[in-house]
Amino acid sequence: MLELQGKRVVLGITGGVAAYKAAGLARLLGKAGAAVDVVMTEAGARFVAPLTFQALTGRPVFVSLWDAPQESVAGGMAHIDLTRDAAAVLVAPATANFIAKVAHGFADDLLSTLCLARDCPLLVAPAMNRQMWEHPATARNVAQLRADGVAVLGPASGEQACGEVGAGRMLEPFEILDALIAFFQPKILAGKRVLLTAGPTFEALDPVRGLTNSSSGKMGFALARACAEVGAGVTAVCGPVSLPTPAGVTRIDVQSALEMRDAVLAQMPQTDIFISVAAVADFRPAAPAAHKIKKGTKTLTLELLANPDILAEVAARADAPFCVGFAAESQNLAEYAEGKRRAKKLPLVVGNLVKDGLGGDANAVTLFDAAGAHPVPPADKLTVARTIVRHIAEMVRR
C-alpha cells in the first residue's frame, strides 16, 4: 500500500549505532510512496555513508550547513527550505545528544538548525544505552520535547549493541513506519475507548484436541490498529492467534468462548464502542475428557452445549456501548446480516461472504445500518478496517 503517496519526509540520521537501521527505514518510506530527503549529522555519516542513502532514495543527501547548495534547494537555504512543504521531519536514530539539542533550542549543525526552523511536525525515534535513556537529564529533555509537541516514538527494550539489556533500543524500521502512518491519521476517535474481540475460540474436547475454526484474527487486529491510529484507547480480547499486537493496543489472550465472555464483560464499565469481530464457536463440549481420547472406537459421540452470545448479551445491557457486529456468511449475505442487526438491535453490522475474507489477507465487506447497505470496495484488511472505523466514527458523532 502506498500509504505515504504524495508526502515528502525529511529523514534525519544522527550518530548512533542504530544508524544502520535507518537505511532500511529509508527504503520502507520509499516503498510506502514517500519522497525522502535525508539529512545526516557528521557523526551519523561516520556510521553509514551518505552515498547509501542517496542510492536508496534517489535524492541528494545533506550533511553540513556549509555544503555547496543543492539544485533541489531554493537559494541554497537547506535548513529552511527542506521542511517547507514537507509532511514531517523524522529523526531516527535520535541520540541523547540530539534530543538535548532540540529540547534546548540549540542549532549548531544542519539537522538541529533545520529542526528549529521547521515548518512541519517533528518525530524522533530515540536510540541510546539504557543508562543514558534512564538518566534524569534525558527524562527531562524527552518530557520537554513532548510538551513542545514533538512525537517520541519508542524506544523499545531489549539487548543493546553495548551488550546491556533494557530500554533505549530504537524501534524497528517497520514499527517506525507504522507509527508515522498512524501519526498522519485524523484522530476521529480521540478519547473513545474501544473494546474488540478477534480470532477464533478453541473449545477443548480433551487436553490436545478441540473445536475451532479457520479465523486468522487478521481482520480483528487490522481494526484494532485502525482504531488506535485514530486516537482511541483500544483493548483487544484475542482467541488463540499468534499475530503481533498493534502498537498502542492492550491485549487480553483467551482460549474458549466462556473465557472471552468473561474478559469482555470485565471491560464493559470503561467501554464506549464494542466491535465483535471474533469467530466465536457456537457450541462447546458438555464434558471435555480429562485425558487424551484414544482411537479405540470407530465412532465418537459428542454432547455439545450452546455457547453464550457475547454480542447479544452486551447489546442488551442497560449501559450498552455502541455495538458493532460481524456476520460472515456463505450465502444470502444481505438477508442474514440485516437480520442479525435487527434481531440484536445493533446500530451496525459488517457483513462478508466467507470466501472473501476468512483467513485471508484481503476482504470485501458491506456495512449494514439503519440507512441501508453500504458496500466497501475489496482491499487489504487494513484498508477495509480504516473504512469501517471512519463509518463508526461518523455514526458515533451523530
DSSP sequence for 345-371: T-SEEEEEEHHHHTTSSEE--EEEETT
Mean pLDDT of 116-126: 95
pLDDT at position 73 is 57
**Owner of C-alpha cell 470466501:** 355
The residue among 204 and 295 whose pLDDT is bigger is: 204
Q: How far apart are CA 102 and CA 116, in angstroms?
A: 7
Prior bond of 269 cis (ω within 30°): no
Q: H or E element: which one contains 197?
A: strand 193-198
pLDDT at position 296 is 77
pLDDT at position 394 is 96
pLDDT, one tens digit per residue, over 128-163 is 999 999 999 999 999 999 999 999 999 988 887 778
pTM: 0.86
Distance set, CA 102 to CA 98, 124, 224, 248 (Å): 6, 10, 33, 26
Cα pseudo-dihedral 377, 378, 383, 387, rounded to 10: 30
Is the pLDDT score of 8 beyond 60?
Answer: yes
pLDDT at position 326 is 93
Q: Which three cell numbers stand for residue 3?
A: 500509504
Burial class (CB in 10 A: 0-12, 13-18, 19+), 297: exposed
251 neighbors 300 (Cβ within 8 angstroms): no
Is the pLDDT score of 95 beyond 90?
Answer: yes
Q: How far apart are CA 385 and CA 222, in angstroms?
A: 6
pLDDT, one tens digit per residue, over 290-316 is 999 888 777 888 899 999 999 999 999
Strands 165-169 and 156-159: antiparallel
Burial class (CB in 10 A: 0-12, 13-18, 19+), 226: buried
Q: H or E element: which one contains 337?
A: helix 333-343
Among candidate residues 115, 120, 162, 227, the one labeled active-site is 162
128 neighbors 164 (Cβ within 8 angstroms): no
Distance of CA 201 to the CA centre of its chain: 23
Q: Which three cell numbers stand for residue 275?
A: 466491535
pLDDT at position 139 is 97
Which domains, ranges and CATH numbers included, belong to the chain? 8-184 (3.40.50.1950), 193-397 (3.40.50.10300)
pLDDT, one tens digit per residue, over 40-79 is 999 999 999 999 999 999 999 999 877 655 655 555 566 6
pLDDT at position 357 is 60
Single-letter residue type at 307: N
**Owner of C-alpha cell 483467513:** 359
Residue in 364, 391, 390 with CA at minimum distance from that of residue 377: 364
pLDDT at position 161 is 78
**Owner of C-alpha cell 539489556:** 165
131 neighbors 124 (Cβ within 8 angstroms): no
Distance set, CA 256 to CA 4, 210, 218, 360 (Å): 39, 10, 18, 22
Secondary structure of residue 92 in the 3-state scheme: strand
Distance of CA 39 to the CA centre of its chain: 27
Mean pLDDT of 269-277: 96
Residues of the chain above pLDDT 90, percent: 80
Q: How far apart are CA 372 and CA 220, in angstroms?
A: 23
Residues of the chain above pLDDT 70, percent: 95
Mean pLDDT of all residues belonging to the chain: 92
pLDDT level of residue 87 (50, 70, 90 thresholds): very high
Is the pLDDT score of 257 beyond 80?
Answer: yes
Q: Is 162 a catalytic residue?
A: yes
Distance of CA 149 to the CA centre of its chain: 21
pLDDT, one tens digit per residue, over 351-382 is 988 776 666 788 899 999 999 999 999 999 99
Among the residue ranges 20-29, 64-73, 144-153, 232-241, the one predicted with the least confidence is 64-73
pLDDT at position 164 is 80
